[in-house]
Amino acid sequence: MLQSTQSVALDASHFELIEAMTDEVVILDATGTIVAANTAWKLFCEENGGDLKSHYVGANYFDICKLAVLDAVVQAEAVLDGLRTALKTGAPFEGEYPCDGPGVRRWFQLNANRMAIRGGPCLLLQHRNVTTRRMAHDDIERAHLQAETFAALVATTGEAILTYDLEGCIISWNPAAERLYGYTEQEALGQSVELLYPQDWPTSVLEYRDQIVAGNLRQFDAVRVAKDGTKRHVTIACTPIRTLSGDIVSISNIHHDVTATRKAEEVRDLVSREVIHRAKNMLSLVTAMQRQTANSAKSLAEFNKSFGDRIQALARSTDLLVDGGWSSVDLDQLVRAQLAPFLHGQDDVVDVAGPPVSLGPQALQLIGMALHELATNSTKYGVMSDGNGHISCHWSHTEKGGLHFHWAETGITLDPSLKKTTGFGSKVLSVLAPAMVNGSAETVTSENTLTWTVTIPAAHLSSPC
């Protein structure tokens, strides 16, 4: 028991009182000077590098608090004000403050009660180590904050997050899951997670559970079905949820919607296959053109000229098809593009008319090739050779929504021997063209007229009428 040689005089009862206490206890006089300290206080000083000679008896406690204020200890100023108020008014003071030692965190609870000694006011200060309780409280606060933060993340994230118990029943369902699948939280909770499975899905929730619990499954792709029946392609990240003792009590899932990505991949694959298919068709067509042109040509020069012209005609049709996204081409645009190289300013000899029609790829190639052959013949033997006569290029819809295309070249004089020609152009008009679209074609010639008609089924029009 330590006592100051100055200040108030204490008797044996005061010493007995503070020695009976297990907390670190000191008595302050009216100026804040420590006038007595018990053994617990002395041991604390010795164990924590304090003043081993005086154990701070005779030092001013208020001054120590002021130094702590200067050291930016947040609670020090409140403690100082509380002690002064208790000394002045007699109102008890209680507070907590940090008192860290070398490499260790500590918290103390301070209780101050005024007492009279020889008629003078003094303070009895009890210091109780509450580090364990305070750290537990801080841990709880931290866990609560983490839980609140996690709950906020789950509530606000754009990813669908759901949790189900070991029987597969949904026990949590965030707003993003509602947006993805259409079920409200009230509708989803308590339901089996298989509520989202397609009818023929091969893996049950319990099979998934066993793989996840065993640590064999962390992520997988799946198809799930929304409330309105829409199928969703999702990548599912999964993890078991454990108690503090390590027992698994539920499974957490994060569903990342990859529907748009999967559809884009399907479109890409479809386009790739379509490009390959069309390339093969184009090569077959060019091969047939090459073979038939070679059969009818009388010289290499004639072959080169005829084959080159036909390739150019095919290229013009293909350019229009590319501009139309390989889906459709306006018939009027095609006719004018194919005839333009042959007219040389004689636009008035051709009458082009018909309702709006969008041609599919096969119909486009058919009519494009036919127009080239017809215009080539006209340049050699018909209207485009001398400007005499007239060409009408008209079309209309059939009763079944198909296309009836009609070329009529009138006012011309045809050599009777041309009626018997069996060259490539003739085959395009009579055989190859209708075969490409499963339609029908007819060529009729007389002394002063040539007509060619073709009927194309609605399936080869982009917007059948």
| 405 in a structural domain | yes
Closest C-alpha to 448, from 392, 404, 408, 402: 408
Which pLDDT value is given to residue 26?
92
pLDDT class of 272 with cuts at 50, 70, 90:
low
Which pLDDT value is given to residue 8?
73
Q: Which helix (H) or strand (E) holds 164?
A: strand 160-165
Same domain? For 107 and 11 the reply is: yes
List the CATH number of the domain containing 175: 3.30.450.20
Closest C-alpha to 122, from 196, 243, 31, 13: 31
Closest C-alpha to 310, from 393, 378, 380, 368: 368
Whether pLDDT at 208 is above 90: yes
Q: Which domain holds residue 98?
A: 2-134
- Alpha carbon dihedral 36, 39, 42, 48, in 10-degree steps, equals -140
| 454 in a structural domain | yes
How far apart CA 375 and CA 357 sit, in angstroms, is 21
Q: 371-404: per-residue pLDDT in tens?
A: 877 887 787 778 877 778 899 999 999 999 999 9
Closest C-alpha to 365, from 314, 327, 427, 329: 314
Q: 227-258: per-residue pLDDT in tens?
A: 999 999 999 999 998 887 889 999 999 999 99
Same domain? For 127 and 166 the reply is: no
| 282 in a structural domain | no
Same domain? For 306 and 449 the reply is: yes
| 166 in a structural domain | yes
pLDDT, average across residues 199-225: 94
Q: Which residue has the higher pLDDT, 248 or 296?
A: 248
| 67 in a structural domain | yes
Same domain? For 446 and 318 the reply is: yes
Q: Which helix (H) or strand (E) holds 291?
A: helix 259-296
pLDDT class of 149 with cuts at 50, 70, 90:
confident
| 11 in a structural domain | yes
Same domain? For 36 and 114 the reply is: yes
Which pLDDT value is given to residue 465?
40
List the CATH number of the domain containing 365: 3.30.565.10
DSSP class of 9: P
Q: What percent of the chain has pLDDT over 90?
A: 35
In 3-state terms, what secondary structure has residue 105?
coil
pLDDT, average across residues 282-288: 62
Q: How many CB atoms lie within 10 A of CB 284?
A: 10
Same domain? For 299 and 423 the reply is: yes
Closest C-alpha to 357, from 219, 464, 454: 464
Whether pLDDT at 129 is above 50: yes
Same domain? For 301 and 433 the reply is: yes
In sequence order, what DSSP letters do the residues of 2-41 get, joined into one string? EE-SSSSPP-HHHHHHHHT-SSEEEEE-TTSBEEEE-HHH
How far apart CA 337 and CA 350 sit, in angstroms, is 13
Same domain? For 75 and 163 the reply is: no
| 111 in a structural domain | yes
Whether pLDDT at 177 is above 90: yes
- Domain stop point among 85, 102, 134: 134
Helices and strands in the chain, H and E counts: 15, 18
Rounded to the nearest integer, the mean pLDDT of the chain is 82
Same domain? For 445 and 297 the reply is: yes
Work out the burial of residue 189: count CB atoms within 10 Å of its CB; fewer than 13 is exposed, 13-18 middle, 19 or more buried: middle
pLDDT class of 462 with cuts at 50, 70, 90:
confident
Q: 409-431: per-residue pLDDT in tens?
A: 988 876 655 555 555 456 667 76
What value, to the nearest 5°, has the Cα angle with vertex 430 and ends 429 and 435? 95
How far apart CA 22 and CA 42 sit, in angstroms, is 12
Same domain? For 338 and 241 the reply is: no
Same domain? For 226 and 342 the reply is: no
Q: 330-359: per-residue pLDDT in tens?
A: 889 888 887 877 776 677 889 999 999 998
pLDDT class of 408 with cuts at 50, 70, 90:
very high
| 287 in a structural domain | no
In DSSP terms, which residues pair with 251 in a beta bridge? 164, 240
pLDDT, average across residues 270-286: 60
CB 10 within 8 A of CB 120: no
How far apart CA 5 and CA 77 sit, in angstroms, is 29
- Domain stop point among 103, 134, 165: 134
- Domain stop point among 73, 100, 134: 134
Q: Which residue has the higher pLDDT, 280 or 442?
A: 442
pLDDT, average across residues 180-192: 95
| Domain count along the chain | 3
In DSSP terms, which residues pair with 109 in a beta bridge? 96, 128
Same domain? For 189 and 122 the reply is: no
